[in-house]
Amino acid sequence: MLIWQSVDTARIAELLKPFLGPSASESGAKKPLLSQVQFEDILTYINLLLRWNARINLTAIRDPEHIVTRHFGESFFAARHLFPATRPRRERLIDIGSGAGFPGLPIKLWAPELDVTLIESNQKKATFLREIIRALRLTDINVFAGRAEDLQSQAEVATLRAVERFESALPQAVRLRAPAGRLALLIAESQVATARALSPQIQWSEPIPTPLSSHRVLLVSQAG
């Protein structure tokens, strides 16, 4: 039985609109940025998240609409900027400190062709991530239930969002970025200076304000 019965996929689409940009009819695009099936997957994800969150602490946000805007909205906002054509060529993505799956899992929903690795050292959270992957029937996605320091592979895109110990996590994200790859951070505006100081070898684009937030930004490195 669904926990979130009072809100349907149309409401999810409305809540995500600021993060996804103009609709297909408004922008002249040939098709919507997200399909009805993808919105249904988001609803399934939210209900599983709420059910598991009653047993283990996956997110401090309990309100379903805030989950849509804070977690899914930010994640799709990053996906739209990383892959503006909506469907990239086949690339690898590593998400450091995935927690409840953000931003890595929504980015995978946005771009199914990506080969994704979710890094999560908390075993209960890693089990939740595997459950979501099964429920959404996702392929080419792996959960690495360990520390980022222990992962030896690299990816064309590495993502990092709202993790504890940001100062120690960022160097690992830099290490996991393949040569000529990109790094995307979903962070507070106050952390931008720290990110630049900790990664002097990285050329960063200007931070992009996150919709519906007065202090959160998307910081993306230039390729190379």
pLDDT attached to residue 25: 47
Q: What is the mean pLDDT of residues 14-25?
A: 80
Query: Given pLDDT bands bounded at 50, 70 and 90, which one contains residue 27?
Result: very low
- CATH code for the part of the protein at 9-220: 3.40.50.150
Q: Say which range, 1-10, 40-49, 68-77, 171-180, has the weakest mean pLDDT.
A: 1-10
- Could you give the percent of the chain with pLDDT greater than 70? 89
Residue 15: is its pLDDT beyond 70? yes
Annotate the chain with DSSP letters as a single string.
--S--S--HHHHHHHHHHHH-S-HHHHT-SS-SS-HHHHHHHHHHHHHHHHHHTTS-S-S---HHHIIIIIIIHHHHHHHHH-TTSSPPS-EEEEES-TTTTTHHHHHHH-TT-EEEEE---HHHHHHHHHHHHHTT--SEEEE-S-GGG----EEEEEEES-SSHHHHHHHHHHHEEEEEEEEEEEEGGGHHHHHHH-TT--BPPPEEPTT-SSEEEEEBPP-
On average, the pLDDT of the chain sits at 90
List, for residues 90-101, the tens digit of each pLDDT value. Answer: 799 999 999 999
CA nearest to 156, candidates 188, 198, 123, 184: 184
| Backbone phi and psi for residue 187, each to the nearest 5 degrees, phi listed first | -140, 175
Q: Say which range, 126-130, 160-164, 180-184, has the weakest mean pLDDT.
A: 160-164
Tokens of 128: 């939740």
Per this entry, what is the length of the chain?
224
Domain extents for the chain? 9-220
List, for residues 101-122, the tens digit of each pLDDT value. Answer: 999 999 999 999 999 999 999 9
Rounded to whole angstroms, the Cα distance separating 189 from 168 reads: 18
Residue 40: is its pLDDT beyond 60? yes
pLDDT attached to residue 164: 73
pLDDT attached to residue 223: 73
Residue 5: is its pLDDT beyond 60? no
- Could you give the percent of the chain with pLDDT greater than 90? 83
